[in-house]
């Protein structure tokens, strides 16, 4: 039986990494095989591309180049990690996916949604997540949280408050356009409160009884 593909989206500092770890633990406790992964990255070639995107000067790429780099990383990730895991029957939980490209390069940098959707179809065809969790919080709060993480992967975080406000608007617009796929989760509470909201959405949308 094919597995399920769950993606986590949202602005910087929303707690995606923590909630993915907690969801993966809960799914394993429910008896499921889980592959936790991320974009950009999640496969050797895609991880090489990740460094080009999340490190360095804010202006090192224009929006089209960014979209192409993300798409190249996505293709490698799908072919080498996501699709094989789903074929094995794993539940794949992914930190960011194509909605981030629509939000960052589309709403954030102004590329046309139609162009980005065409590029996505070249990369992935009609493949879409079974469920997308959008962790939502004000841009100011997210940037404040993200500022203390370190690690050098802060290129997008340095793009300014107005850029990040556009990202939030973008993710909410995507959720409104795809209500059957997307669940918007308030990410402003405690880790435990957000975890409970995420788990409730996963059980409700994907029919888990555990």
Give pLDDT tens digits for 23-43: 999 999 999 999 999 999 999
Confidence (pLDDT) at 148: 58
Flag whether 139 is in a domain: yes
| pLDDT at position 20 over 70 | yes
Q: What is the mean pLDDT of residues 3-28?
A: 95
Flag whether 210 is in a domain: no
| Residue 39 to residues 5, 16, 35, 85, 110, Cα–Cα distance (Å) | 13, 12, 13, 15, 21
Confidence (pLDDT) at 143: 84
pLDDT band at 175 (very low <50, low <70, confident <90, very high): very high
| Rounded Cα–Cα distance for residues 190 and 188 (Å) | 7
Flag whether 68 is in a domain: yes
Pick left, alpha or beta for residue 151 (phi over 0 → left; psi -120 to 50 → alpha; otherwise beta): left
| Residue 137 to residues 18, 88, 92, 125, 134, Cα–Cα distance (Å) | 15, 35, 24, 31, 10
Three-point CA angle 146, 53, 121, nearest 5°? 110
Flag whether 200 is in a domain: yes
| pLDDT at position 162 over 80 | yes
Confidence (pLDDT) at 156: 81
Question: Which residues, other chains included, contact 45 with Cβ-Cβ below 8 Å and sequence gap of 6+?
Answer: 73, 76, 80
Flag whether 142 is in a domain: yes
**Is 186 strand, coil or helix?**
strand
pLDDT tens digits, residue range 114-149? 999 999 999 999 999 999 999 999 988 888 887 755
Q: Of the given ranges (84-88, 155-159, 188-192), which has the lowest mean pLDDT?
A: 155-159
R_g of the chain computed on alpha carbons: 16
| Residue 153, domain extent | 5-205
pLDDT band at 195 (very low <50, low <70, confident <90, very high): very high
Domain count within the chain:
1
| Rounded Cα–Cα distance for residues 58 and 160 (Å) | 10
**Buried b or exposed e, range 79-112, using 16+ CB within 10 angstroms:** eebbbebbeeebbbbbbbbbbbbbbbbbbbbebe
Higher pLDDT, 192 or 208: 192
Confidence (pLDDT) at 13: 83
81 within 8 A of 43, measured Cβ to Cβ = yes
Flag whether 188 is in a domain: yes
| Residue 66 to residues 53, 61, 126, 150, 153, Cα–Cα distance (Å) | 7, 6, 22, 22, 15
pLDDT tens digits, residue range 45-104? 999 999 999 888 989 999 999 999 999 999 999 999 999 999 999 999 999 999 999 999
| pLDDT at position 209 over 80 | no
| pLDDT at position 155 over 90 | no
Q: What is the DSSP string of 129-145?
A: -SEEEEEE--HHHHHHH
What is the CATH number for 93?
Answer: 3.40.50.300
Flag whether 149 is in a domain: yes
Confidence (pLDDT) at 151: 62
């Amino acid at each position: 039986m094919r597995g399920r593909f769950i993606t986590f989206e949202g602005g910087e500092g929303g707690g995606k990494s923590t909630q993915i770890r907690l969801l993966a633990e809960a799914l394993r406790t429910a008896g499921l095989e889980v592959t936790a992964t991320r974009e950009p990255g999640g496969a050797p070639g895609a991880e090489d591309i990740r460094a080009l995107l999340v490190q360095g000067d804010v202006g090192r790429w224009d929006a089209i180049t960014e979209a192409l780099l993300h798409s190249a990383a996505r293709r490698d990730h799908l072919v080498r990690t996501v699709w094989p895991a789903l074929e094995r029957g794993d539940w794949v939980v992914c930190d960011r996916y194509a909605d981030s490209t629509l939000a960052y390069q589309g709403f954030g940098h102004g590329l046309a949604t139609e162009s980005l959707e065409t590029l996505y179809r070249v990369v992935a065809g009609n493949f879409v997540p079974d469920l997308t969790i959008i962790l939502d919080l004000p841009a100011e709060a997210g940037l404040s949280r993200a500022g203390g993480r370190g690690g050098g992967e802060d290129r997008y975080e340095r793009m300014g408050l107005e850029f990040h406000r556009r990202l939030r608007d973008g993710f909410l617009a995507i959720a409104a356009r795809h209500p059957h796929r997307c669940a918007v989760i308030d990410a402003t509470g405690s880790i435990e409160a957000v975890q409970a909201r995420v788990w409730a959405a996963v059980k409700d949308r994907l029919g888990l009884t555990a």
